[in-house]
């Protein structure tokens, strides 16, 4: 007898607002400033790859945790698919995050799991797939991110590029519509950076995926894939560029 | 309690992952500690019974041997010593692992994936510690009784007499007390060590301090619980 399966991603009853952008920062205070002039506003539209570029004191480190609801904004609002994410109750928030992909700074891979088990973790916890379906999905991700030969290694045994591949595979394991990448290109070659961003920016059905990435600089190799870039200084987006207008 | 309720709604694959963590915890906490627990139980019971027979024999009170065996070794020292062994082996490991999880950003990564770290990290370790401590206490008691017999025969006491003396004092209450202590002591080991491990904020240098805090808090909790058990059970 077959059991009824409800959905691919098990989430709470928090609904996305139809037509709302995947991610919107509205006058967010990134650095704890009282003045309204020092606030950050950016909207990530569906299918857009937005890069927030800034140095260590620019406040871009706060964007990922704010977008995932890991921290609440000191002022302003962060909306994910129209939902003020920081206001969700804890278990609703956990379920809602399964619609998002996240690459934390430093990868955040679990050190006691193999790279493959790290990739498999969200699929095992957040879906009601049968075990063989979980394994099939994991095998597909392992192949897509070229992890096959190193899948059994622990993170400490792998190279930085391999760890990043595994962390990115884990970020898109549930095929999210929005992915947040924190400093994804640190320690990568230009070729690897382009390859990985290209893979992450496409959903399983081939459509473009919304991405917010933070970076110290916009590597020339990935410029073709970025649709919009904002330079952040002291918590404020001071300069916006688009691919169409050409990069300066 | 919210974590326990949420765990009951886990997916099949999620339950499988948790089961693997639980089995690993039991393997490390119980299986790998059986030898040490059995060795210490044997030494302790042998020493206590040997000394007791000699001292009690001088006053013709050897029949009180059962009280010493059951009250001192089975009811009090056994659970305490077992819990202390588990704290020193597994409590330290749990606290260090949790602290490392926190420092390496793994806890944040779990939350970002929509996984409750209390379900993934703490709950299986707590269940594993409860099962392990309760099981090890039973092992301790069994080995202590056996070793007590060896000590008794070495000192000239027949098996039938030793058995009669011990069984006269041993009751079903001792079995329930042992199991109850296993549950409470096991939960204390996992909860205190996990709490102090996850409370780390500053960085890797805080990990040893977290381990120390977790172990000290657990030892204090175990002695307090032991005293409470005496108060409630008597």
Q: Is B120 on the interface with A (CB under 8 A)?
A: yes
**Interchain contact, B109 vs A108, CB within 8 Å:** yes
**Interchain contact, B12 vs A130, CB within 8 Å:** yes
| CATH number 3.40.50.300 given to A23-242 | yes
| Spatial separation of the C-alpha atoms in residues B187 and B120, rounded to whole Å | 16
For B94-136, the pLDDT digits (tens) are 999 999 999 988 999 999 998 888 888 999 999 999 999 999 9
Mean pLDDT to the nearest integer, B48-58: 86
Q: Is B76 on the interface with A (CB under 8 A)?
A: no
Token output for A158: 């792998």
Token output for A144: 């897509």
At residue A40, the 3 state secondary structure works out as strand
End-to-end CA distance of chain A: 61
- Contacts of residue B112 in chain A, CB cutoff 8 Å? 68, 70, 97, 100, 102, 104, 108
Residue B196 contacts residue B217 (beta carbons within 8 Å): yes
- Contacts of residue A61 in chain B, CB cutoff 8 Å? none
Q: Is B16 on the interface with A (CB under 8 A)?
A: yes
End-to-end CA distance of chain B: 30
**Interchain contact, A97 vs B114, CB within 8 Å:** yes
Tally A–B CB contacts below 8 A.
89
Cα A154 off chain centre by: 22
Mean pLDDT to the nearest integer, B203-221: 94
Candidates B14, B104, B108; nearest CB to A70: B108
| Spatial separation of the C-alpha atoms in residues A66 and A191, rounded to whole Å | 30
Least confident of A27-36, B133-142, B164-173, B214-223: A27-36
* Res A14 pLDDT > 70: no
Q: What is the pTM of this model?
A: 0.84
Question: Looking at CA atoms only, how far is residue A175 from chain B in angstroms?
Answer: 12
ipTM: 0.86
Crossing angle of helices B92-103 and B172-198, in 10° steps, is 30
Q: Which of B13, B17, B25, B98 to mutate to test the interface with A (most CBs of A within 10 A)?
A: B13
Please state, for a pLDDT cut of 70, what percent of chain A lies above it.
92
Residue A2 DSSP code: P
Q: Is B6 on the interface with A (CB under 8 A)?
A: yes
Confidence of residue B29 (pLDDT cuts 50, 70, 90): very high
* Maximum C-alpha span of chain A: 63
| Spatial separation of the C-alpha atoms in residues A157 and A153, rounded to whole Å | 6
| Spatial separation of the C-alpha atoms in residues B72 and B74, rounded to whole Å | 6
Q: Which of A10, A116, A120, A125 to mutate to test the interface with B (most CBs of B within 10 A)?
A: A125
Least confident of A40-49, A71-80, B159-168: B159-168
Residue A208 DSSP code: B
Mean pLDDT to the nearest integer, A34-50: 86
| Spatial separation of the C-alpha atoms in residues B223 and A110, rounded to whole Å | 35
Confidence of residue A32 (pLDDT cuts 50, 70, 90): confident
**Interchain contact, A121 vs B113, CB within 8 Å:** yes
Q: Is B108 on the interface with A (CB under 8 A)?
A: yes
| Chain A residues with at least one Cβ partner in B under 8 Å | 10-11, 65, 68, 70, 90-91, 94-98, 100, 102, 104-106, 108-112, 121-131, 134, 170
Q: Closest chain A residue to B10 measured between Cα atoms?
A: A125
Residue B93 contacts residue B211 (beta carbons within 8 Å): no
| Spatial separation of the C-alpha atoms in residues A4 and A47, rounded to whole Å | 32
Task: Find, among A248, A212, A207, the residue nearest to A227 by Cα.
Answer: A212
Facing residues of A233 across strands? A236
Candidates A102, A106, A129; nearest CB to B112: A102
Candidates B11, B16, B104; nearest CB to A111: B104
pLDDT, position A247: 63
Task: Find, among B119, B127, B129, the residue nearest to B93 by Cα.
Answer: B129
* Maximum C-alpha span of chain B: 70
Residue B186 contacts residue B127 (beta carbons within 8 Å): no
Candidates B11, B14, B108; nearest CB to A108: B108
The full DSSP string for A91-110 is HHHHHHGGGEEEE-TT----
pLDDT, position A3: 38
**Interchain contact, B11 vs A128, CB within 8 Å:** yes
* Res B226 pLDDT > 80: yes
| Spatial separation of the C-alpha atoms in residues A213 and A58, rounded to whole Å | 14
Candidates B6, B11, B100; nearest CB to A127: B11
**Block residue for tokens 């169409």:** A244
Residue A79 contacts residue A126 (beta carbons within 8 Å): no
**Interchain contact, A124 vs B105, CB within 8 Å:** no
- Contacts of residue B2 in chain A, CB cutoff 8 Å? 90-91
């Amino acid at each position: 007898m077959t059991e009824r399966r409800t959905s691919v991603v098990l989430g709470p009853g928090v609904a996305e607002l139809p037509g709302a952008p995947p991610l919107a920062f509205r006058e967010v205070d990134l650095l704890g400033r009282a003045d309204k002039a020092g606030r950050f506003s950016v909207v990530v539209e569906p299918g857009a790859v937005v890069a927030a570029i800034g140095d260590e004191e620019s406040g871009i480190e706060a964007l990922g945790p704010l977008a995932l609801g890991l921290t609440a904004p000191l002022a302003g609002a962060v909306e994910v698919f129209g939902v003020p994410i920081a206001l969700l109750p804890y278990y609703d928030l956990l379920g809602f995050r399964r619609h998002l992909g996240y690459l934390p700074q430093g990868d955040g891979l679990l050190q006691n799991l193999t790279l493959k088990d790290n990739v498999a973790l969200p699929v095992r916890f957040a879906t009601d797939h049968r075990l063989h379906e979980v394994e099939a999905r994991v095998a597909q991700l392992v192949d897509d991110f070229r992890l096959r030969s190193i899948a059994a290694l622990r993170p400490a045994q792998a190279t930085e590029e391999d760890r990043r591949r595994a962390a990115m595979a884990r970020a898109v394991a549930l095929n999210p519509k929005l992915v947040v990448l924190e400093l994804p290109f640190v320690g990568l070659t230009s070729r690897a950076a382009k390859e990985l961003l290209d893979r992450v920016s496409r959903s399983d059905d081939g459509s473009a995926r919304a991405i917010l990435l933070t970076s110290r600089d916009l590597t020339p190799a990935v410029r073709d894939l970025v649709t919009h870039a904002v330079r952040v200084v002291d918590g404020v987006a001071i300069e916006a560029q688009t691919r169409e207008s050409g990069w300066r | 309690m919210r974590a326990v309720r949420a765990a009951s709604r886990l997916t099949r694959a999620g339950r499988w992952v948790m089961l693997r963590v639980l089995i690993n915890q039991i393997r490390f906490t119980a299986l790998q500690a059986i030898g040490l627990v059995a060795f210490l139980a044997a030494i302790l019971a042998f020493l206590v019974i040997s000394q007791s027979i000699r001292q009690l024999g001088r006053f013709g009170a050897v029949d009180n041997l059962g009280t010493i065996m059951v009250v001192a070794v089975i009811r009090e020292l056994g659970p305490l010593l077992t819990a202390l062994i588990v704290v020193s082996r597994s409590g330290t490991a749990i606290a260090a692992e949790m602290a490392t999880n926190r420092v390496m950003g793994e806890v944040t990564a779990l939350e970002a994936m929509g996984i409750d770290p209390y379900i993934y990290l703490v709950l299986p370790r707590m269940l594993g510690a409860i099962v392990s401590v309760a099981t090890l206490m039973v092992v301790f008691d069994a080995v202590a009784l056996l070793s007590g017999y060896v000590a008794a025969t070495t000192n000239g006491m027949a098996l039938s007499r030793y058995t009669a003396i011990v069984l006269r004092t041993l009751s079903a209450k001792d079995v329930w007390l042992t199991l109850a202590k296993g549950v409470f002591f096991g939960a204390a080991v996992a909860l205190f060590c996990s709490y102090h491990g996850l409370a780390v904020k500053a960085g890797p240098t805080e990990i040893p301090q977290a381990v120390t805090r977790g172990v000290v808090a657990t030892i204090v909790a175990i002695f307090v619980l032991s005293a409470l058990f005496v108060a409630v059970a008597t």
